[in-house]
Each structure stands twice: as C-alpha cells, then as structure tokens.
Amino acid sequence: HARKWHQMRPVPTVARAYPLVGHALLLKADGKEYFQQIIQYSEEYRYMPLLKLWMGPVPMVVLYKAENVEVILTSSKQIDKSSMYKFLEPWLGQGLLTSTGNKWRTRRKMLTPAFHFTILEDFLDVMNEQADILVNKLEKHVNQEAFNCCFYITLCALDIICETAMGKNIGAQNNGDSDYVRAVYRMSDMILRRIKMPWLWLDLWYLMLKEGREHKRSLKILHTFTDNVIAERVRQMKSPEECKDRHERDSRPTKNKRRAFLDLLLNAAGDDGNKLSRENIREEVDTFMFEGHDTTAAAINWSLYLLGSYPEVQKKVDMELDEVFGKSEGPATLEDLKKLRYLECVIKESLRLFPPVPLFARTLNEDCEVAGYKISKGTEAVILAYALHRDPRYFPDPEEFQPERFLPENMQGRHPYAYVPFSAGPRNCIGQKFAIIEEKTILSCILRRFWVECNQKREELGLTGELILRPYNGIWIKLKKRNFSES
C-alpha cells in the first residue's frame, strides 16, 4: 500500500485523501448528488488528463480523454473488471459481465453465436409484437396530461428479453407492475452505495444492517424470477410432448430459434466437458436479464425525452418514417430498420448524451503508463463515458442534441475512443446489435403512432448514476395522435 501511495502521488487528485478511508468521506451518499459530484469534478478538472481518487485503500484513476481511454480498452491484458464488481456477484455471480481470465474468454466464445445477426432477425417479430402492446397501452395517454413513460418502456423491454433470449412470455406489460423491475432498481442503488462506502464492504457486518437485510430480500426476488424461467425451459426440453400442442398452434417457424440463448446454456459444456451447472446457467441468465432490459429501456427513454424536447429533430424522424413505412402501422422488417438511418443517428446521439452505463471500470493487472503517469498494478481504471462523450474537441457544443454528428461524413477523423456507449475492445458489449435493433423497432412503432412532447428541463431530470443512468424524477411526456399531413 505504501509503495502504491508513493508511486501514485504525482497523479492529479481532487483533494487530500484521509488515511484508511481515502476520499470516501468526501463523496455524497445519495446517488443523485454523488453523480453530480463526479460530473462536477470531471468538468472542473477537464484540463487534467486524468484524476485520482482513493476509495479506502484502493487507488482509482478516472479517465475521460479518448487517448487515455484507448490505452486501457485496446489492451488484451487489461481485461479484468474492477474488483468493485464483486458487489454484483451475489446477484450476477461470475457471468459474462463480472468474470475474468479464462472463464470470461470461454463464456464469451460460447455465447457469441447466440447473437449472430441471422438469429437476431428471428427475434424481430417478438420485438414488433411487444412494441405493439406498448403503443396500445400508451393510447390512453393521448391528449392527456404529461405522464412518466419510464416504467412502460422498461416492462416492454423486459417482455422482449424474456421471450427472445429465454423463451418465456411473462406478460409484464399486461400485469402493469413488476416486483422484478423494482428489485433491479433497488439492488442497483444498494450496490452503488456499498461501493462508495468502504465500511460496508465486509459481508458479515453489512448483512447485520437493515440495508443488508433488504439486499437479501431483493436478491431472493431476482433469483426466484430467473430460477423459474430456467426451470420452465428445462421442463419443456425434458417433456416436449407437453408443449407439442402449443407449438402446433404457433405457425411461426422461428419459435425454437428464439430460445437460442437459454438453450445454448442448457446444452453447453464447461471447461471440464460436463454441462454447465444450474448455478453457472443462472449467472448468465441473471446477467442477460439485467443488462438485456435495463440498459435498452434507459436508452429508449432518453431518446423519447430528447425527441420530445427537440421537435425539429422529431420532424426529420417523421419524414424518414413516412418515406420507409408510408401510413402503415404494421410490423417493421429488418430491411425497414436498415433504411432508418436518421433514427439510428438519433439513437447514437442519445447514447452520447445519456449513456445508459455512465461509467465502468477495470482492475489493472500490471503497471502501465497513462498520459505520462505511471499507474500501479491493482489500480481501478474508471472510464467516465458521460464526461468522455462531452469532449468539445470531438463534439462541439457537447450539450446540444445534434443527431447529424453521426452521419458518416461527420464522423470522419473522430477519435475511435471518443464514443464508447457499448465499451470497446475485447470486452465490448456482446448484445449491442440486439440493443440497436430493439431500440429502432420500439421507437419506430411509437413515433409512427404518436407525436411526443416533453417540457422537462435538463436540470429537472435529477440524473442519478447508479449502475444505469436514470432520471430520478422520471421522464414526463405528452402524446398526440400523429398528423401525417404535417410531417
């Protein structure tokens, strides 16, 4: 520890660190205030190439310059997720998000085929079906007061990930509520609080506290949900006759392909040649259930907020939708989605301004040099995507919503690591194509039916950077029936 302290002394820092607890006492406990504090630091010290924080005895360097982010993300050696991700392990185990080394490499290789483009195409009809349910649910808000759209979108995304990747239709949108979604939100908040407070790191002590007991209850809800999903699929695989009638009633030939991800896990062999254990399978199912719905839902919500706030941009999207679909409200095909180039720019610009994962981290497994500073082995490298995406060198007027930034001619010469909403390098997001297809499908379905208005100011959102970047106060929009003659 003394060696690290001495070696890291030259790295710029925000304030003097206290013994044992480091900067932990300076950081706000509230998720909303904490995120604003981190953003304030990154703006105040933008002239610095990086920042150092001590989280207890653990050194952290915060990176928000493209050239410094590149050093970490392009390395084939620096692929170990931050040790702080251990607080996710009671929930997600050592799945693709949290695992390291050979276990991660084996799982990544095993799971990549489940996200092949041809399989994603087979999922499109489910996305269309659930998007159609969503717009029917939203119909009651037409010409009414502003309402919070976040939960509607989240339940739709949850239905999509369950049916496409897990082969189970849970009907979350029709239930109108979800203990699972609420447990995800609460768990995210508790994990971030624990990361920031070294005195909560010890499991024995944490579980004695009221919050530790709540953590345990939330964990039970999350694991029970995924256990039920796995158990039902196992039962179906063991007793195909039970499902024969249902399959015969379903004329869609791609029904079995939709279950590719969970089937792949149930049939996959581990390093020892044996099938993955139930615990191994649950690790990946929990990981994909969380990452496959929460990040995508956040991205769609932010897109709706920005489109509702910038009517001139929404008008351009409308014109493109008219060119591709005419007056049709039917399901989108893959060819339709490919033609929605401006909508894709809107999604990318939304991901720039409000990246669903606003920061992520790696543990450095060897000494390295960043921006001329020697960074010790064992340091946590925190990539602050929210600040990185606002570098005026690559994004002039960074707070402005300008989808044209992502037209091919405007991307030339931009640093490849100035924009990393899905991370980059060897540990980039395996599901990014899935996410873009889902976002295009849902947004095109909503925007063909409705005109969106939003009067919330940025400062009214109450950004909270837990595991996922959320608006603490929700996203409140108004809906009107789409007027084709005006678009």
Of residues 188 and 31, more confidence is placed in: 188
Q: Is the pLDDT of residue 7 over 90?
A: no
User: pLDDT-derived band of residue 253, with 50, 70 and 90 as boundaries?
Assistant: very low
- List the single range of 53-57, 370-374, 428-432 with lowest mean pLDDT: 53-57
pLDDT of residue 272: 53
pLDDT of residue 251: 40
What is the extent of the structural domain holding 7?
2-481
User: Do the domain assignments include residue 275?
Assistant: yes
pLDDT of residue 27: 76
Mean pLDDT of the chain: 86
- List the single range of 296-310, 319-333, 462-476 with lowest mean pLDDT: 462-476
Query: Which residues lie below 8 Å from residue 304, measured CB to CB, with a gap of 6+?
Result: 149, 153, 443, 446, 452, 454, 475, 477
425-451 pLDDT, tens per residue?
888 888 899 899 999 999 999 999 999
User: pLDDT-derived band of residue 33, with 50, 70 and 90 as boundaries?
Assistant: confident
pLDDT of residue 404: 97
pLDDT of residue 120: 72
User: Do the domain assignments include residue 238?
Assistant: yes
Whole-angstrom distance, CA of residue 35 vs CA of residue 463: 7
Query: Which residues lie below 8 Å from residue 296, measured CB to CB, with a gap of 6+?
Result: 157, 161, 356, 435, 438, 439
pTM of the predicted protein model = 0.87
User: Do the domain assignments include residue 486?
Assistant: no
User: Do the domain assignments include residue 325?
Assistant: yes
Average pLDDT (144-163) is 92
User: Do the domain assignments include residue 460?
Assistant: yes
**Which residues face 470 on adjacent strands?**
464
pLDDT of residue 132: 96
Choose the most confident range, by mean pLDDT, from 28-42, 258-272, 442-456. Answer: 442-456
Average pLDDT (81-100) is 85
Whole-angstrom distance, CA of residue 156 vs CA of residue 287: 18
User: Do the domain assignments include residue 431?
Assistant: yes
**429 annotated to a ligand binding site:** yes
Residue of 167, 182, 456, 428 lying closest to 294 (CA atoms):
182
Whole-angstrom distance, CA of residue 21 vs CA of residue 185: 27
pLDDT of residue 437: 94
64-80 pLDDT, tens per residue?
999 999 999 998 888 88
- CB atoms closer than 10 angstroms to residue 271: 9
pLDDT of residue 64: 93
Whole-angstrom distance, CA of residue 329 vs CA of residue 135: 11
Angle between helices 210-238 and 278-309 (to 10 degrees): 110
User: Do the domain assignments include residue 487?
Assistant: no
**Which residues face 463 on adjacent strands?**
471
Whole-angstrom distance, CA of residue 211 vs CA of residue 154: 25
Task: Tally the C-alpha atoms within 13 A of residue 49's C-alpha that lie toward its C-beta.
Answer: 13
**Which residues face 62 on adjacent strands?**
51, 382
Choose the most confident range, by mean pLDDT, from 72-81, 101-110, 140-149, 178-187. Answer: 140-149
Contact 361, 82 (CB under 8 A): yes
Of residues 111 and 348, more confidence is placed in: 348
User: pLDDT-derived band of residue 185, with 50, 70 and 90 as boundaries?
Assistant: confident
Whole-angstrom distance, CA of residue 1 vs CA of residue 481: 62
pLDDT of residue 354: 96
Residue of 15, 25, 13, 17 lying closest to 1 (CA atoms):
17
Whole-angstrom distance, CA of residue 189 vs CA of residue 467: 8
pLDDT of residue 248: 47
- The fraction of the chain above a pLDDT of 90, given in percent, is 43
Count of domains observed in the chain:
1
User: Do the domain assignments include residue 111?
Assistant: yes
Of residues 12 and 296, more confidence is placed in: 296
Of residues 175 and 484, more confidence is placed in: 175
Question: What CATH code is carried by the domain that includes residue 439?
Answer: 1.10.630.10
User: pLDDT-derived band of residue 241, with 50, 70 and 90 as boundaries?
Assistant: low
